[in-house]
Amino acid sequence: MDPILHIENLAIELPAGADRLFAAEGVSFEIFPGETVAIVGESGSGKSMSANAVMGLLPPGTRVAQGLATLEGVDLFRLDEAGLRAIRGRRIGMIFQEPMTALDPLMRVGEQIAEVFEAHGVFTPAERRARALELLTEVGLPEPERAIHAYPFQLSGGQRQRVMIAMALALEPVLLIADEPTTALDVTTQAQILKLIADLQAKHGTAVMFITHDFGVVADIADRVVVMRQGKVVETGAAADVLGNPQHDYTKALIAAIPTGRREAGEAAAAGERRIVLEVENLTKTYTSAGGFFRPPRVVHAVKGVTFDLARGETLGVVGESGSGKSSLGRCLVRLIEPEAGSIRIDGAETMGQSAGEMRLWRRRMQMVFQDPYGSLNPRTRVGRIIAEGPIAAGVPVKQALAEAADLLAMVGLDAAAVDRFPHEFSGGQRQRIGIARALALKPEIIIADEAVSALDVSIQAQVLRLLADLKTRLDLALVFITHDLRVAATICDRIAVMRKGEIVEMGPVAQVFGDPRHDYTKRLIAAIPGRTEGSPLVAARA
């Protein structure tokens, strides 16, 4: 059988001044009909750049310096722009990592799918709409008749990704490139998307290049694996062989960094020794959307009657799907959004009903680490000043605050000289460390970590989790850890609270919730964790 895609000795040259000469160097692999090949590696390993070279979508300043890429025997690197446009969509489809940036926010979903057909001159306008509706139905979008008229912002993350899949498969390409299509999705939505890709692949006989950094996903879907590091292929082979008996130290390190779902940080304090610092009772937050003609207002219970307590030195994991109310709960706790009912007590003192000035004092005791360090760090402010801003606002002299900022950077594993650099000069994991340092600057007793590791590579994720566990122990912190990744929650948390539609439906020690879940929703979440299916090579390797 001839390969659908053959890549040989690919080298992609980076612009002058980059951290290395080549984004990819000496890359060779093949993908056969109906096969799924997972390209695995950390950020900067050259995975996406190799895929973009195949599509002719390299960013400005980069170029293919050498190598061969043939699709069904056609040399892609010798095609002009018109030739590449004819290939894209018709013979190669691509699912991008972030559908909100890949979809046009000003075009309705149906129009964007129809645009694929229009670009290739197939079907009449009526046929294009009918085919778009058929595709939305095929990818399992609820209410496709409504979705076809929706704008991307009116859909959830999982629904937008289904639209991207529909567009990628619109002309039944022979090769589908999926670039981290499930990274930001919760476990149940991720499981649905992976099953959808597998089902559509079986139906259409499509070859799949699946780019990911999650070996759990690899274990569930891949036939073969290509491991990349700093632009080079360091290991390749059948998925069962690579996962069950990795040969390269880098592959071993990546597999070792996968959250195991087993408790690794120290045991929770005994019940009699718990020193309660935070008490939350019947916390409620609702949103009401305006109605219209013949349409009543819509009420959404973002947080509904949530009750829990938290002790010093304890980590409470809050888990659930997107829209379950996890992040709304975190924002209510620090009063970034105002709950309309309930009680939030710190060391027994009520914080609800406090004025903005009084809340500034309380916020010194409860700080937040945000999900996206790109968006939460001021790009025009040096790191030292970012960390020092809180203490300065609290009355600490500027010189002292900046000196303490340097100490905090050292505490989170960064060079003290980083105080004079800007956020864009750091990697994603380093920026998250800066976010943690900023949260610690006011010496809080409680940290709310909202999806603090969800977008990080597994190795960087493992480092940040170890850092949080270490800081919690050293500083006697209480930690509310919000995540959609149940493997991470099981690894770092003492107790788990499972949220669904704004309510806590199950709460208990990690061993009880994961070992003997009571609620059907919890059972579904655990069953959707990638890499846990019976017969998975990852499970066999860890047995």
Tell me: the pLDDT tens digits for 393-429?
A: 888 999 999 999 999 998 888 888 889 999 888 877 7
**Rg of the chain on CA atoms, in Å:** 25
Q: Among 486, 495, 491, 497, which Cα is nearest to 526's?
A: 486
SS3 1: coil
Compute the average pLDDT of residues 473-499.
Answer: 91
pLDDT, average across residues 367-388:
88
High-pLDDT (> 90) share of the chain, %: 54
DSSP H or E run through 229 = strand 224-229
pLDDT tens-digit profile of 121-164? Answer: 999 999 999 999 999 998 888 889 989 999 998 887 778 888 99
SS3 for 417?
A: helix
- What percent of the chain is predicted at pLDDT more than 70? 94
Measured between its terminal Cα atoms, the distance across the chain in Å is 35
Lowest mean pLDDT among 77-91, 147-161, 239-253: 147-161
Listed in sequence order, the residues at least 6 apart from 107 whose beta carbon sits closer than 8 Å to its beta carbon are 115, 151
Q: What is the pLDDT of residue 271?
A: 46
Give CA torsion, residues 335, 337, 341, 342, to 10 deg: -40
pLDDT in tens, 265-283: 444 444 457 899 999 999 9
- Give the position of tokens 């219209």: 292
